[in-house]
Structures are given as structure tokens and as C-alpha cells.
Amino acid sequence: MAFPTETVYGLGANALDARAVARVFQAKARPGFDPLITHLADAADLPRLVGRVPEMVSVLAERFWPGPLTLIVERPLAIPPIVTSGLDTMAVRVPDHCVARALIAQAGVAVAAPSANRFGRLSPTRAEHVVAGLGDAVDLILDGGPTRYGVESTIVDARAGHPVVRRLGALPVEAIAEVVGPLKIALGGHGRPAAPGALAAHYAPSTPLRVLSDSTSVPHHGGSLGYLAFRDRPREEYAAIEVLAPDGDLTRAAAGLFDALHRLDAAGLTQILAERVPDTGLGQAINDRLQRAAATWRPDR
């Protein structure tokens, strides 16, 4: 079942049921090495599920849950290894969305849920995106309208006491730093990724996307080009133009990012040109997603 959260739509299954979780992997065509996030209805459910919670994990959970922060903990025995792709750690969060929390509370179990899109593709920020991306692979979608943040949760590993950011996301790094001081950002790594959302190529439209180094370096174009602008419309003509935030508000830009990319992707363009946004707050997550979208070149294009 697909459901809205404050970040993106998720595709949920009973996290204690390995067969249900396997169906989620299947529906997304998701490789078995990419672990899911376990969702809880309430922060108080974490110690119930995992037993002892490391001090810094507790501090962050208390401060930011419910909300767009995913924390890494040891995987409890009750959670089958398929959820964590065999890792002995588990990603967990409490979403800040009444539909998501009501669903999890009603289910009475932890809910494992990746974003409700095909693996590697644009994340869904509206129920329509889920329909377009997964179609019949999903039996039910709870439509909560467009999601508030529009980018996925920030993933932090705080088990050792010094928080390390594993995925940039809807909770700005600056907000976490206000609570814990300066923190390390370590996205991806070598070989098996720490968080496959940190794979170089991810979050991709099927139209090739190119990130402009700055908004003045627009290449001369032929063909059918689309343009993703941050605040100002480009002076040149394009077959399709999306402006994320005319007022320069990065929160607005993040919320509309995937929606704009879904529209451009559906416009039959040969290429999408995308401007980078200021690299602070939510801008870091937006630039991260654009970079990864640009890194993917697929044969099925």
C-alpha cells in the first residue's frame, strides 16, 4: 500500500513479515542490496522495538521526531534481514504526517517503506506520481495531496556519538548542527554504498538531465530542450520551463522539485537543463538530487 509522508510517498509493508517486504522490493524492481527504512507511529516505539537506544540517537529522536530524520540503529531480531538487506543496522524514522502515523498505528506494527517509485527513478510527491510510476504493482494508494517537503528524509548515523550524515534530505544539516555541533557528512563510499540513495546515479527522470554550472552558461540549443530554473525565468526560449521558487524560498523549491521534474519528464523533451540552487539549508538536498539525476544515463531512454 502506498501512503503519503511529509517527505515523499512511501510503499509500505509489515516490517515483521519478510514475504510482505519481498513484495515491496518486487513492485519497485529494487535490488536486494538497498535496505528499507522502518517507520514507527511514535518515538516511544523505538526502545520497545530495539531495546537499548544509544544516547545520541535518543537525543536526535527526541528533538526531531516526528519529522524528516532517519536514524541508524542496530537491527533488532524481530526485523527480518530482508528489510535491512542483510545489514546488522536498521534505518528508522517517525514520519510527521497524520495519514502515515494513523496507518502505522492502525497496523499495530512497524512499517517498512521505501519511496513509492521504481528503483532509481524520480521520487513521488503526489499520488498521481505513484500511479504513473508503479501502476498495477500497487493495490492501494492513500491520497494525501502533495507532500510538504518534497525531498526524502535526512539519514544520520549517530550510534557512535558523533553524528554522521549519510543522506542529505528534508532536515537541513544546519538544524542538526544547532543541537549537536558541527557534524560530518559522508555520502556514499566505495563499493557497497552506506545508503544507496547515495549511489552516484539515482532519482533520475527518463529524459537526460544536465546540471548547469551557473545560470549564465546556457548552451546554444537545437532540439526540444526543457529548463528547470530556481527563481528567474531564463531569457531564452525553451520547449518547457519550470521555475521552482520565484521568491527564492528553498523550502518552496524543494517541495516542488520532483513535481517539476515529473512534468518536464512527461513533456517529450530531448534534454532537461537544470540550474543549481544556493547550497545552504534545503538547497544542499536539492543540489544533491539534481547531481544524482544527472549522473544517470540509461539505455532505455
CB atoms within 10 A of CB 248: 13
Of the residues 155, 171, 225, 273, which one makes contact with ligand TXA according to CB under 6 A: 155
Q: Which does 166 bind (CB under 5 to 8 A by kind): Mg ion, ligand TXA, none?
A: ligand TXA
Closest separation in Å from C-beta 72 to ligand TXA? 5
Query: Contact, 259 vs 147, CB < 8 A?
Result: no
Query: What type of residue sits at position 50?
Result: V
Binding letters toward ligand TXA, positions 177-216, x by CB under 6 A: -----------------xxxx-------------------
Is 91 a residue that touches ligand TXA (CB under 6 A)? yes
Window contacting ligand TXA (CB under 6 A); options: 46-54, 67-75, 207-215, 244-252: 67-75
The one-character DSSP state at 137 is: G
The span from the CA of 221 to the CA of 212, in Å, is 14
Which residue lies nearer to ligand TXA by CB, 17 or 74? Answer: 74
Closest separation in Å from C-beta 87 to ligand TXA? 5
- Start-to-end Cα distance in the chain: 29
Is 115 a residue that touches Mg ion (CB under 5 A)? yes
The span from the CA of 297 to the CA of 145, in Å, is 31
3-state SS, residue 174: helix
Which residue lies nearer to Mg ion by CB, 115 or 125? Answer: 115
Window contacting Mg ion (CB under 5 A); options: 27-35, 84-92, 115-123, 251-259: 115-123
Question: How far is Cα of residue 168 from the mean position of the Cα atoms in its chain?
Answer: 9
Of the residues 97, 129, 148, 166, which one makes contact with ligand TXA according to CB under 6 A: 166
Which residue lies nearer to ligand TXA by CB, 36 or 250? Answer: 36
Binding letters toward ligand TXA, positions 123-152, x by CB under 6 A: -----------------------------x
Window contacting Mg ion (CB under 5 A); options: 49-57, 75-83, 112-120, 292-300: 112-120
Strands annotated E in the chain:
2-3, 10-11, 13-14, 37-39, 69-74, 89-93, 111-112, 154-157, 164-167, 184-185, 209-212, 225-229, 240-243, 271-275
Q: Which does 67 bind (CB under 5 to 8 A by kind): ligand TXA, Mg ion, none?
A: none
Which residue lies nearer to ligand TXA by CB, 31 or 246? Answer: 31
List of residues 6+ apart from 109 with CB closer than 8 A: 14, 15, 16
Longest CA–CA span in the chain (Å) reads 60
List of residues 6+ apart from 73 with CB closer than 8 A: 46, 50, 53, 54, 57, 89, 90, 92, 159
Window contacting ligand TXA (CB under 6 A); options: 28-36, 175-183, 208-216, 251-259: 28-36
Window contacting ligand TXA (CB under 6 A); options: 7-15, 127-135, 213-221, 284-292: 7-15
Is 90 a residue that touches ligand TXA (CB under 6 A)? yes
Is 5 a residue that touches ligand TXA (CB under 6 A)? yes
Give backbone dihedrals phi and psi of 160, rounded to 5 degrees, phi first: -85, 5
The span from the CA of 123 to the CA of 150, in Å, is 9
Is 115 a residue that touches ligand TXA (CB under 6 A)? yes
Q: Which residues bind Mg ion (CB under 5 A)?
A: 115
